[in-house]
Amino acid sequence: MKKIPLLISATLLYLCAPAQDKAKSILDDFNKAMKSYPSMDIRFTLTSDDEVNNIIETKDGRVLCKGSAFKLIMDDIEVYSDGKTKWTIMHDVNEINIQEVDPDSNDMFDNPINFFTVNNKDFKYSYKGSTIIGGKVMEKIEFEPKDKRAAYSVIELRIEKNTLYPYEVSYIGKEGESYSVKVKLFTPNAKIEDVQLDFKEQSYSGYEIIDLR
């Protein structure tokens, strides 16, 4: 009787192995491509879905990345980062927060590249097939966090097969709250001047500066 569960486990591992191998191959190629670009211009739509309160919000945004520096613009928020320090400008309350950047964070407002290139070591992942969207083949990778305390149960990443461009990242929450970032336009090797990513305090006269470092 004890051999049956072992046989079932072995069979499941055998069936899951090809999906994980394919996922790893795609992710390795995708991450390598993303890290090879000296600069990127990403236009995106952020959609948050609160099923509990039946609220869906959609916001458009843009992020310019060059090396470890970036500038993110979305509604009343601007974020500048030189890779070490982050300035978050909230125009609706005339406030600027200054913080240190966590290089390991996968939050889009800390490190947009980490957000799209999900850290494989923190997740179990598998290939979930491909679909055609807008005439393009999108391959789907599903991530399950190893940390059971994580606020989300699954992350879904869709990658355009032919170009290895990111298409969509979705975080599925455990308590009915989920959000996704869908890329509307991805421009690698974009022409971005350093001055475009520089935070200039003098441009925000009258704003309260809160240093949280």
In the predicted model, is pLDDT for residue 140 greater than 50?
Answer: yes
What pLDDT is attached to residue 4?
46
In the predicted model, is pLDDT for residue 15 greater than 50?
Answer: no
Domain positions in the chain are 3-211
Residue predicted with more confidence, 88 or 15: 88
In the predicted model, is pLDDT for residue 17 greater than 80?
Answer: no
In the predicted model, is pLDDT for residue 39 greater than 50?
Answer: yes
Amino acid identity of residue 58, one-letter, is: T
* Residues 96/210, Cβ–Cβ less than 8 Å: yes
* Residues 140/131, Cβ–Cβ less than 8 Å: yes
What average pLDDT does the structure give for the chain? 87
| Fold of the domain built from segment(s) 3-211 | outer membrane lipoprotein receptor (LolB), chain A (2.50.20)
What pLDDT is attached to residue 3?
45
Instruction: Convert the pLDDT of each residue in 193-212 to its tens digit.
Output: 999 999 999 999 999 999 99
Tally of CB atoms within 10 A around 84: 10
In this prediction, residues 20-31 reach a mean pLDDT of: 89
What pLDDT is attached to residue 119?
67
In this prediction, residues 186-197 reach a mean pLDDT of: 95
pTM score above 0.85 = no
What pLDDT is attached to residue 96?
97
What pLDDT is attached to residue 9?
45
Detail the DSSP E strand segments found in the chain.
Answer: 39-50, 55-66, 69-74, 77-81, 85-90, 95-100, 123-133, 136-145, 152-160, 166-173, 177-188, 208-211
Q: Which pLDDT band, with edges at 50, 70 and 90, does 16 fall under?
A: very low
Greatest alpha-carbon span in the chain: 75
In the predicted model, is pLDDT for residue 213 greater than 60?
Answer: yes
In the predicted model, is pLDDT for residue 13 greater than 60?
Answer: no
What pLDDT is attached to residue 106?
79
In the predicted model, is pLDDT for residue 59 greater than 80?
Answer: yes
* Residues 156/144, Cβ–Cβ less than 8 Å: no
Instruction: Convert the pLDDT of each residue in 67-120 to its tens digit.
Output: 989 999 998 899 999 999 999 999 999 999 999 998 888 788 888 888 888 766
In the predicted model, is pLDDT for residue 143 greater than 80?
Answer: yes
Residue predicted with more confidence, 120 or 22: 22
